[in-house]
Amino acid sequence: MARELVYTGFMSLDGVVDSPGGKVEGHRSGGWVMETEFVPEAYSLKGEELADTTALLFGRRSYEAFAPFWRESEDHAAYKDLPKYVLSTGLAEDDLLDGWGPTTILRSVEDVAKLKETEGGAIFIHGSAELARNLADADLIDRYNLLVFPVLLGAGKSLFSHSDRDKQQLRLRESASYSNGVNKLVYEVVR
């Protein structure tokens, strides 16, 4: 049985996943997650994911953003020893961060497809919008764990491709709405 590939992320109501945590990421409205009233239960999905994650997959830019922070984060200590994979054609072994557990560089979407066929549990993708679009276009994403925020950003990176492709049906697995306007939407890809 193939391993489940799960995209998880924060998204604006108009579909932007760009720079939820801060302006350093490049979007002029960066930090939009932090500008929403904090309601702990709205983030319970993130805690549930910690228990379900058996490996992490990143694109190069997201790896370079997350790795230094998460390596030192107590909230992400459970990720330290998990296998990590980075899909990149240009990243070298010397570019990998020391002290954050095993990390393997994958060079192609086909390498990700082969990874899914190995033994183990769910592989989670955090951030990495371009990676997620490419993997969705290759029909490799199995589930979307989304926290949708009540903000319209107008421009930025989109999780979903705008290319002409076959329709992909999703099945709602779980949903919840919170007092701060955030909505949890967990969709499975129907095959």
> Over the stretch 132-164, which tens digit does the pLDDT of each residue have?
999 999 999 999 999 999 999 888 888 888 887
pTM for the structure as a whole: 0.92
CATH level 2 (architecture), domain 5-142+150-164: 3-Layer(aba) Sandwich (3.40)
Which tens digits make up the pLDDT trace of 32-66?
788 899 999 999 998 889 889 999 999 998 999 88
At 144, the amino acid letter reads Y
Q: Rounded to an integer, what is the distance from CA 71 to the centroid of its chain?
A: 17
Closest among 97, 122, 99 to 7, alpha carbons compared: 122
Q: How far apart are CA 176 and CA 139, in angstroms?
A: 26
Checking DSSP bridges between strand 170-177 and strand 183-189, what pairing results, if any?
antiparallel
Give residues with Cβ within 8 angstroms of 15, minimum separation 6: 158, 159, 160
Residue spans per domain, the chain: 5-142+150-164
